Structure 1
């Protein structure tokens, strides 16, 4: 698989990664907002764990996940900017609709008023153009 296809596959999968991180943040926030069920007493020789310590750990985890999410979002923006470097606007449109907005082939064909075979030819040409852009950047 060439470099352009690898980047486009990565771009296509970033939304799932971003959403899973957002879900994780929401879970942590729900835990922060729920009433504490931890006790500050020692339990059978264990060390007492303060509720504040647990909240602090949850907040630190939330901040770390938010930072990671921002990095993934920045990667998606970076890959989108590579598509913007294509000279042909239809090539940019085909790649954006396919890999960023994740439209179905039929929707793209309807929107661009083209046949499926034209779509596949345009997508192939756009990927080749992206490959040239990537080679030029190296």
Structure 2
């Protein structure tokens, strides 16, 4: 697989990664906001764990996930900027609609008033153009 296709596949999958991180943050926030019924129980031979320690750990986890999410979002922006370097506006549009907004082929064809075979030819040319930029 060429480098351009690998980057476009990565771009297409970043939204799922970002959404899963957002869901994880929402779960942590829900846990922080709910009123815990924890007590400081001692397990024989174990250490006591205070509620404040648990909150602190949850907040640290949330901040780490947010930082990771920002890195993934920045990667998506970086890959989108590579598409912006294409000279042909239709090539940019085809790649954006396919890999960023994830439109269906039929919808792209309707929007651009082209046939499916034209779409596939234009997409192949756009990927080739992107490959040239990456070299």
TM-score range (shorter-chain normalised) is over 0.9
Q: TM-score, normalising length from structure 2?
A: 0.95
Q: TM-score, normalising length from structure 1?
A: 0.93
Q: CA deviation at 1:42?
A: 1.6
Q: How many residues align?
A: 134
Secondary structure of the residue aligned to 2:31 is helix
Q: Could you tell me which residue of structure 2 aligns to residue 66 of structure 1?
A: 66
Q: CA deviation at 1:39?
A: 1.1
Gaps of 5+ in 2: none
Listed one character per residue, the Cα deviations across residues 7-56 of structure 1 (whole Å, up to 9, x for unaligned) are 00000000000000000000000100111122113233321110000000
Secondary structure of the residue aligned to 1:86 is coil
Tell me which moved more, 73-82 or 30-39. Answer: 30-39
For 1:135 and 1:3, the matched residues in 2 are separated by: 7
Distance verdict in 2 for CA 1:135–1:13, change over 3 Å = closer
* RMSD (Å) for aligned C-alpha atoms: 1.3
Gaps of 5+ in 1: none
For 1:135 and 1:123, the matched residues in 2 are separated by: 12
For 2:37 and 2:116, the matched residues in 1 are separated by: 57
- After the TM superposition, which segments of 4 or more aligned residues of structure 1 sit over 3 Å from their partners? 134-138
Are the equivalent residues in 1 in contact too, given 2:3–2:131 (CA < 8 A)? no
